[in-house]
Chain A
């Protein structure tokens, strides 16, 4: 993260578009599905054929309300307007969007670091189709031919507009990540930035601390959280340099080039179109009943912040690595495994680590793994019945083939733990073979324990339990010192 000098401060507001996971499009019955053959999910309504009329999708309203509620917004009676502009991927040459009366307004989002970012609004609108320009520059102007796929045209979107409360690129990234988690948790979106189901534009300006806001630039083409952070840093520095050289920032839309790592002018404000917004006379006002709102609110699942807190509470003073593992678990929505294991008496740290590593690595098969089988495996590892390596192998088997009996898998794999006698003999012979290392360990250099564990694992082909090795080493160190 770039730190600005000379008293400059970054001011960022984010506009996040998310496609809603509805069965059908916002105003017609066409399937809302990414990746179909071009122009197969279309009908007279989403193609804007003469005479067709839009009818609002109730499920989209419900998902929009879920987002609003999760962001602590006020849900209010709202209207739909037409945003008029000519573009081939927009079948009616206007977009139906909410304008002065959005469904959700005045909310906030609390970030893991304790900061709060205001949410100005989260309104509903329809997506456009997708244009491919062939020949020429690859942009609209100068292309030889343009092909349009209207499958995406009319897919429901919610646009979440933050207040200009964000003060660093890292905070912007944290906001986007937390928002993504919320969108996934509500079931409103799959949050896939690479498929375009979540798209972020950043409004960036700089100012001297406590001065009025500077002129902002809107940055587009941010295809990942990393791009978001890099682009904000680049843009803030660009503006500071411009201002320090006595220049002025021009209000404009800028394009982020990920490869070159810079922004460039896309269009200036003077070119901005007059969208001639007016209320869409084909639609009626939207006023969800209190009863409907109450039902949606009651069914709202726990949000990431609450779920994160629940996991953090299972570990005393979690390390940074453990916090990262918890993020992975929350992000993937896998914490029920952890809670199940903890309820069965397992150590939370081990359970979190196994979920964040082994399960996360094989999400494709996660449905095969029952929380009970997972808990039993972690307990076996904890009791010493399985080494860490063996536990991972058992989990891998459970993920791949299912089943509810990790003991049987361990037995079939021949994972009999080394008996205490056998382990003692192995450790003794290794001490003899490595007198220098043993000497240093005996003098109190605990790092050497890892060396002996490694040697034990090597000679037992991973069948030993690391904790048991340490116990053996400690016993021998204490024993010797008593001599």
Chain B
């Protein structure tokens, strides 16, 4: 599979065409989608028209953009006008949004060709795609295993060479964890760097859109295209998109990197070994490695499982059968809403709505949601103290390699613990990237995680690039 940078260069210089690249992508999807269940919807017609239009514009000598003719997969919680958008939930089955997410518009303006919508855990709640109402996605590297989640479909699309790049969203690790389990680069940017307008909310204060790619360079290019202020998102940072691609090869000489005990303790031996090897590789690249302990990070998981469900309980209230999506009739409006939500939501979504409703209830707010907000503040302060000492932090992305279907799906706590290393950065609003480094059992990929202060994406990509080279992948 060609990288997105290569495809765009080829399309721009005429050595390939957008239509040819799309056909290659569609053929690969046709070949493997039945087995892997990556795409919930493939927009053959729309993508073909878009690709043809790019080729025609190129033939007229127009600049067709930095992602010219690059097929891209979108997680199915992103709105694209007229394209079925489900969040992998029966409650939205058949709904076609009348508008597009800001990042979809930006991707199309940059020449990218959206080929379809990928599977996810219902409303992005999960770590394996087993919570999808439309069946799980299989890990292309070992179809008996999960691809991770919730952006498992977007990760699998790239891992299966269906597209070179894809878009996911990360609320507690939903980009980084599947990236680690599928052997990809995946970044959760600084909160507010990428507009959330048109991203169907799970937990608004934690959700952030980010890129999947096989290479650090592609991930940087994709993020550069989608980042930057959007007046339609009040939480969008005011600055324009940062320059990322230009800094990928800046190196890490003279930087200080903190190896954080709480971000690898308890992980499988092979994972800990990969993290240590990554530290060594950074040291060889000229970094100073500092061993750190940030005890506050241990509180992250509990705080997350109060804040995220609380926001979700409110964000998901609108799925009431009145205006869009599924409706199950009832005796009156209230009964209709209840019947619709009972039939439309899956078990995990219901579990989190109940958790969140409880956490916000009168008499419990202070003990649960209020307490979680305090932990969030402590987490932000703890990270800030760490970044006063070091430039970046290093740890594991997940406790282990891709696990088998059913291994954790009957034990919510075991599943939740899969996100223990990724959650703290969401609470803090900081960026973090997962990059493949080393191999574990059955030769499955391991992801290590690099974390940085707000808006340190360029440095994170530079560090990830050092590890990419040290791992022998380019």
Residue of B nearest to A87 (CB): B333
B401 within 8 A of A: no
Q: How large is the interface on A (under 10, 10 to 19, 20 to 34, 35 or more residues)?
A: 20 to 34
Contact B361 A276 (CB under 8 A): yes
Contact B231 A55 (CB under 8 A): yes
* Complexed CA–CA distance, A207 and B201 (Å): 50
Question: Which chain B residues border A278 with CB–CB below 8 Å?
Answer: 310-311, 314, 360, 365, 369
* Complexed CA–CA distance, A93 and B341 (Å): 13
Shortest Cβ distance from A372 into chain B, in angstroms?
47
Contact B97 A146 (CB under 8 A): no
Shortest Cβ distance from B316 into chain A, in angstroms?
9
CB within 8 Å for A143 and B332 given contacts A52-B197, A276-B360, A278-B314 = yes
Question: Which chain A residues border B313 with CB–CB below 8 Å?
Answer: 84, 276
* Complexed CA–CA distance, A86 and B316 (Å): 11
A141 within 8 A of B: yes
Residue of B nearest to A278 (CB): B360
Contact B99 A54 (CB under 8 A): no
Contact A282 B235 (CB under 8 A): yes
Shortest Cβ distance from B72 into chain A, in angstroms?
18
B30 within 8 A of A: no
Shortest Cβ distance from B309 into chain A, in angstroms?
12
Shortest Cβ distance from B298 into chain A, in angstroms?
24
A114 within 8 A of B: no
Contact A140 B332 (CB under 8 A): yes
A173 within 8 A of B: no
A242 within 8 A of B: no
Question: Within the complex, which residue of A49, A51, A142 is in contact with B78, where a contact is CB–CB below 8 Å?
Answer: A51
Contact B196 A53 (CB under 8 A): yes
Contact A93 B197 (CB under 8 A): no
Question: Within the complex, which residue of A92, A141, A143, A283 is in contact with B234, where a contact is CB–CB below 8 Å?
Answer: A283
B204 within 8 A of A: yes
Question: Which chain B residues border A84 with CB–CB below 8 Å?
Answer: 313-314, 317, 360
* Complexed CA–CA distance, A45 and B265 (Å): 44
Give the secondary structure class of B's interface.
loop
Scoring A53, A94, A148 by chain B CB atoms within 10 A of each residue's CB, the highest score goes to A53
Question: Which chain A residues border B233 with CB–CB below 8 Å?
Answer: 53, 55
* Complexed CA–CA distance, A263 and B201 (Å): 43
Give residues 33-83 of A contacting B (CB, 8 Å): 44, 47-56, 82
B180 within 8 A of A: no
* Complexed CA–CA distance, A86 and B203 (Å): 19
Contact A47 B79 (CB under 8 A): no
Q: Mark B83-117, 1 if CB is under 8 A from A, else 0.
A: 00101000010010111010000000000000000
Shortest Cβ distance from A93 into chain B, in angstroms?
3
B469 within 8 A of A: no
Question: Which chain B residues border A143 with CB–CB below 8 Å?
Answer: 332-333
A18 within 8 A of B: no
Question: Which chain A residues border B203 with CB–CB below 8 Å?
Answer: 281
Give residues 174-199 of B contacting A (CB, 8 Å): 196-199
Question: Which chain A residues border B235 with CB–CB below 8 Å?
Answer: 53, 281-284
Question: Within the complex, which residue of B234, B310, B332, B369 is in contact with A282, where a contact is CB–CB below 8 Å?
Answer: B234
Interface locus among B125-133, B320-328, B436-444, B450-458: B320-328
CB within 8 Å for A282 and B360 given contacts A55-B232, A88-B320, A143-B332 = no
Shortest Cβ distance from A14 into chain B, in angstroms?
26
Contact B334 A44 (CB under 8 A): no
B433 within 8 A of A: no
B413 within 8 A of A: no
A91 within 8 A of B: yes
B337 within 8 A of A: yes
Contact B231 A50 (CB under 8 A): no
Contact B324 A54 (CB under 8 A): no
Contact A276 B357 (CB under 8 A): yes
Question: Which chain B residues border A443 with CB–CB below 8 Å?
Answer: none
Give residues 262-289 of A contacting B (CB, 8 Å): 274, 276-278, 281-284
Question: Which chain B residues border A140 with CB–CB below 8 Å?
Answer: 332-334
Shortest Cβ distance from B108 into chain A, in angstroms?
16
Question: Which chain B residues border A86 with CB–CB below 8 Å?
Answer: 317, 320, 334, 337
B474 within 8 A of A: no
B160 within 8 A of A: no
Give residues 284-335 of B contacting A (CB, 8 Å): 310-311, 313-314, 317-320, 322-324, 332-334
Residue of A nearest to B357 (CB): A276
Contact A142 B332 (CB under 8 A): yes
Give residues 15-49 of B contacting A (CB, 8 Å): none
* Complexed CA–CA distance, A257 and B463 (Å): 72
Contact A48 B318 (CB under 8 A): yes
Residue of A nearest to B199 (CB): A51
Contact B332 A49 (CB under 8 A): no
Contact B317 A91 (CB under 8 A): no
B409 within 8 A of A: no
B371 within 8 A of A: no
Contact A51 B79 (CB under 8 A): yes
* Complexed CA–CA distance, A86 and B323 (Å): 13
B263 within 8 A of A: no
Scoring B92, B324, B332 by chain A CB atoms within 10 A of each residue's CB, the highest score goes to B332
Question: Within the complex, which residue of B97, B319, B362 is in contact with A51, where a contact is CB–CB below 8 Å?
Answer: B97
CB within 8 Å for A274 and B196 given contacts A92-B318, A282-B235, A283-B234 = no
Residue of B nearest to A88 (CB): B322
Contact A93 B320 (CB under 8 A): yes
Q: Mark B206-237, 1 if CB is under 8 A from A, else 0.
A: 00000000000000000000000001111100
CB within 8 Å for A92 and B317 given contacts A44-B99, A50-B79, A146-B333 = yes
Residue of B nearest to A131 (CB): B333
Shortest Cβ distance from A148 into chain B, in angstroms?
7
Question: Which chain B residues border A88 with CB–CB below 8 Å?
Answer: 320, 322, 333
* Complexed CA–CA distance, A86 and B320 (Å): 8
* Complexed CA–CA distance, A82 and B313 (Å): 11
Question: Which chain A residues border B332 with CB–CB below 8 Å?
Answer: 140-143
Q: Could you pull out 19 A-B pairs where Cβ atoms are within 8 angstroms?
A: A50-B79, A50-B87, A50-B95, A51-B97, A51-B201, A53-B197, A56-B234, A84-B314, A88-B320, A88-B322, A92-B317, A140-B332, A276-B365, A277-B360, A278-B314, A278-B365, A278-B369, A284-B234, A284-B235
Chain B positions within 8 Å of A, measured between CB atoms, are 77-79, 85, 87, 92, 95, 97-99, 101, 196-201, 203-205, 231-235, 310-311, 313-314, 317-320, 322-324, 332-334, 337, 357, 360-362, 365, 369
Chain A positions within 8 Å of B, measured between CB atoms, are 44, 47-56, 82, 84, 86, 88, 91-94, 140-143, 146, 148, 274, 276-278, 281-284
**A-B contacts besides A44-B99, A54-B234, 17 pairs, CB < 8 Å:** A44-B98, A50-B92, A50-B97, A50-B201, A52-B197, A55-B232, A86-B334, A88-B320, A92-B318, A94-B317, A140-B333, A278-B310, A278-B314, A281-B235, A282-B201, A282-B204, A284-B235
Lowest 8 CB-CB distances: which A-B pairs, in order?
A93-B317, A281-B205, A276-B360, A281-B204, A50-B200, A51-B198, A51-B79, A51-B200
